[in-house]
């Protein structure tokens, strides 16, 4: 427990936020700075074939120990933190023996059980939070710390028999580009698991189908005193577009298998405006319907204006991995058994988001997702119980031994 917590705290302090507007890969140099430190650490603990390629992917091998004729399993986590909230100067702190009371942080941030009741599941446990001014970064540095700690333990445990194991750390997952240049063939695993889930016990092999939309509106600025029949206020056009999408299909009104339109940003003035939307749905049919509705709304507004002033760029980002996991459900059975052996009840659920594993599954590497232990990602209310991270390490070790028996 102490080792994985120590590692996580050290990783969390390093600024690795990705940038959706970045023009390089990875999108920020700070991710590469962290990756280089990871390379050094992996070599120090004795992993083989440790390398970082030109895109920032770090890969390494745990050589087989007494077992050769078994599948090669991989474990993957991402190093970047979300640009949704500040990830700079993160100050992790350990709340010892949590007593169930509201957790008061800086800037008036309170993790109150009335609003975040899940924290009560961890009464009596040591919990790590940030200080209220930043996110914590358990998404997904908890996963990174768990994989590195498990790798170190596997190498130290000479009696633990296992086959070849591959590990990888990716950049830019938070901006949907985590596997843009990932070489599945070179990685050489038969299947893998991302350590990128939330609460202890999560096991996920369904996720959203996802698209990103960028909308540019060209207005016409005229002095408001002489604007009649001349002005086109881009902000009002944006408002019209927003109103045409169903309010009941916004993230704050959806759950479980319900998809949504998420207005990510709106910037502009009378002369021009830009909107960014995330389009999400687990059902591919409903996903296509949502994209069609967005296009129809843009077409309607252009017709209403009598000119092509609204431009939509719509790009698919990833798809539901379920289709690729169903033919290899034995890898889900392995993860379930690994959790049960660790005394954990598997909680199978659909991801209301995506992981690197979703795209990797479509690239030929089946890759479901396992819990890393954190809660309330992408904001100052984030926390991770230390025992949950410790159990994630145990699950990795159990998977390694179970795969060796196949």
How do the residues of the chain divide into helix, strand and coil, expressed in percent and rounded to 5? 35, 25, 40
Q: Can you give the pTM of this predicted structure?
A: 0.88
Average pLDDT value over all residues in the chain: 96
Give the pLDDT confidence score for residue 197 in this predicted structure. 87
Domain boundaries of the chain, sorted by first residue: 2-207+320-404, 210-317
Judge whether 212 and 315 are in contact, CB under 8 Å.
yes
Give the pLDDT confidence score for residue 68 in this predicted structure. 87
The end-to-end CA distance of the chain, in Å, is 29
Q: What is the pLDDT of residues 68-110, one digit of tens each?
A: 899 999 999 999 999 999 999 999 999 999 999 999 999 999 9
Q: What percent of the chain has pLDDT over 90?
A: 94
Sheet (strand 260-268) strand order: 260-268, 272-281, 209-218, 310-318
By residue count, the chain amounts to 406
Query: What contacts 6, CB < 8 A, 6 or more positions away?
Result: none
Give the pLDDT confidence score for residue 403 in this predicted structure. 97
Decide if pLDDT at 1 tops 80: no
Decide if pLDDT at 375 tops 80: yes
Letter string b/e over residues 83-100, b meaning 16 or more CB atoms within 10 A of that residue's CB: bebbbeebbbeebeebee
Give the pLDDT confidence score for residue 126 in this predicted structure. 98
Q: What are phi and psi of 288, to 5 degrees?
A: -65, -35
CA–centroid distance for 94 within its chain: 23
Over residues 222-230, the mean pLDDT reads 94
Residue with the bigger pLDDT between 1 and 266: it is: 266
Helix, coil or strand: residue 404: helix
Domain 2-207+320-404 has CATH 3.50.50.60: no
Over residues 120-143, the mean pLDDT reads 97
Among 8-17, 303-312, 346-355, 372-381, the least confident range: 346-355
Q: What are phi and psi of 213, to 5 degrees?
A: -120, 130
Where do the H-state alpha helices sit in 173-283?
184-187, 234-244
Over residues 375-397, the mean pLDDT reads 97
Residue 110 CB neighbours (<10 A): 16
Catalytic residues: 80, 173
Q: What is the pLDDT of residues 18-36, one digit of tens each?
A: 999 999 999 999 999 999 9
Q: What is the pLDDT of residues 263-277, one digit of tens each?
A: 999 999 999 999 999
Local confidence band at 404 (pLDDT 50, 70, 90 cut-offs)? very high
Q: What percent of the chain has pLDDT over 70?
A: 100
Decide if pLDDT at 260 tops 90: yes
Beta bridge partners of 197: 371
CA–centroid distance for 384 within its chain: 15
Q: Distances in Å between the alpha carbon of 180 and those of 55, 295, 326?
A: 9, 26, 24
Six token digits for residue 307: 């000119």
Residue 173 CB neighbours (<10 A): 27
> Which pairs count as long-range contacts for 40-43, CB under 8 Å and 24+ apart, including other chains?
41/148, 42/148, 42/151
Over residues 288-316, the mean pLDDT reads 96
Rounded Cα gap, residues 119 and 31, in angstroms: 30
Beta bridge partners of 202: 347
Local confidence band at 158 (pLDDT 50, 70, 90 cut-offs)? confident
Give the pLDDT confidence score for residue 354 in this predicted structure. 81
Residue 29 CB neighbours (<10 A): 10
Give the pLDDT confidence score for residue 209 in this predicted structure. 95
Give the pLDDT confidence score for residue 139 in this predicted structure. 95
Q: What angle do CA 98, 104, 107 make, to 5 degrees?
A: 150
Could you say which architecture CATH assigns to the domain 210-317? 2-Layer Sandwich (3.30)
Six token digits for residue 290: 């949502």
Give the pLDDT confidence score for residue 353 in this predicted structure. 83
Decide if pLDDT at 406 tops 90: no
Rg, Å, the chain Cα set = 23
């Amino acid at each position: 427990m102490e080792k994985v917590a120590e590692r996580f705290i050290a990783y969390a302090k390093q600024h690795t936020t990705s940038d959706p507007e970045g023009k390089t890969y990875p999108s920020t140099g700070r991710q590469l700075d962290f990756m280089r430190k990871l390379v050094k650490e992996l070599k120090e603990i004795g992993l083989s074939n440790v390398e970082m390629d030109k895109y920032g992917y770090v890969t390494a091998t745990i050589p087989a120990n007494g077992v050769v004729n078994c599948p090669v399993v991989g474990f993957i986590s991402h190093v970047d933190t979300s640009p949704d909230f500040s990830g700079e100067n993160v100050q992790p702190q350990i709340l010892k023996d949590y007593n169930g009371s509201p957790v008061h942080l800086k800037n008036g941030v309170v993790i109150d059980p009335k609003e975040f009741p899940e924290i009560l599941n961890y009464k009596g446990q040591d919990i790590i939070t940030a200080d209220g001014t930043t996110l914590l970064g358990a998404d997904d540095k908890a996963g990174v710390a768990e994989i590195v700690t498990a790798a170190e333990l596997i190498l130290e445990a000479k009696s633990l028999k296992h086959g070849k194991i591959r590990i990888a750390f990716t950049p830019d997952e938070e901006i949907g580009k985590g596997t843009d240049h990932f070489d599945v063939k070179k990685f050489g695993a038969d299947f893998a698991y991302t350590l990128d889930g939330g609460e202890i016990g999560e096991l996920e092999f369904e996720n959203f189908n996802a698209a990103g939309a960028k909308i540019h509106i060209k207005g016409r600025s005229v002095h408001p005193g002489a604007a009649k029949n001349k002005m086109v206020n881009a902000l009002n056009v944006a408002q019209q577009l927003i109103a045409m999408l169903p309010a009941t299909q916004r993230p704050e009104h959806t759950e479980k298998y319900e998809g949504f339109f998420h207005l990510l940003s709106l910037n502009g003035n009378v002369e021009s405006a830009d909107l960014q939307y995330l389009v999400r749905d687990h059902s591919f049919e409903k996903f296509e319907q949502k994209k069609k509705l967005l296009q129809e709304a843009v077409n309607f507004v252009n017709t209403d204006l009598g000119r092509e002033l609204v431009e939509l760029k719509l790009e698919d980002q990833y798809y539901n991995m379920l289709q690729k996991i169903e033919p290899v459900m034995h890898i889900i059975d392995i993860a379930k058994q690994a959790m049960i052996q660790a005394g954990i009840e598997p909680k199978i659920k659909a991801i209301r988001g995506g992981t690197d594993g979703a795209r990797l599954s479509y690239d030929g590497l089946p890759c479901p997702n396992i819990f890393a232990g954190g809660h309330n990602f992408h904001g100052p209310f984030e926390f991770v119980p230390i025992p949950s991270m410790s159990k994630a390490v145990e699950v990795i070790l159990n998977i390694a031994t179970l795969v060796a028996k196949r």
